[in-house]
Amino acid sequence: MPQLPLPPGSTLGILGGGQLGRMLSQAASRLGFDVVILDPEPNSPAGRVSHSQIVAAYDDPDALTALGRAADVVTFEFENVPAASIERLAEAGALVAP
């Protein structure tokens, strides 16, 4: 499991692809991080500026597995992400940080 702080070149996973995720993705990219978004909307604001996007529901087990494997750390951009999704990521060994 990676340790914080992560070095540039690491991948940040974000649950949620709205405007806050967009701003976070842009800032992370400027700092040298890759960003992968998980959001159900294929044309999400954050997905348009991130390295990649997984288009799926927030509680999709396969999508959560893919996000956890792709990212060195996972965070979320809004408070209504299902807690069970965050727990699933953590139980699978993903580093989850608010």
Question: Which residues is 52 bridged to in the sheet?
Answer: 36
What's the topology of domain 11-91?
Answer: Rossmann fold (3.40.50)
Q: What is the pLDDT of residue 87?
A: 94
- Per-domain boundaries in the chain: 11-91
* pTM of the full structure: 0.92
Q: Tokens 């997905």, residue?
A: 47
Distance, in Å, from the CA atom of 43 to the CA atom of 40, rounded to the nearest integer, reads 9
Is 90 exceeded by the pLDDT of residue 41?
yes
pLDDT tens for 47-88 read 999 999 999 999 999 999 999 999 999 999 998 899 999 999
Which residues fall within 8 angstroms of residue 30, CB to CB, at 6 or more apart? none
- Token pair for residue 84? 């069970």
Distance, in Å, from the CA atom of 65 to the CA atom of 79, rounded to the nearest integer, reads 21
Buried b (16+ CB within 10 A) or exposed e, 23-48: ebbeebeeeebbbbbbbeeeebbbbe
- Token pair for residue 68? 């956890």
Tell me phi and psi for residue 94, to 5 degrees.
-75, 145
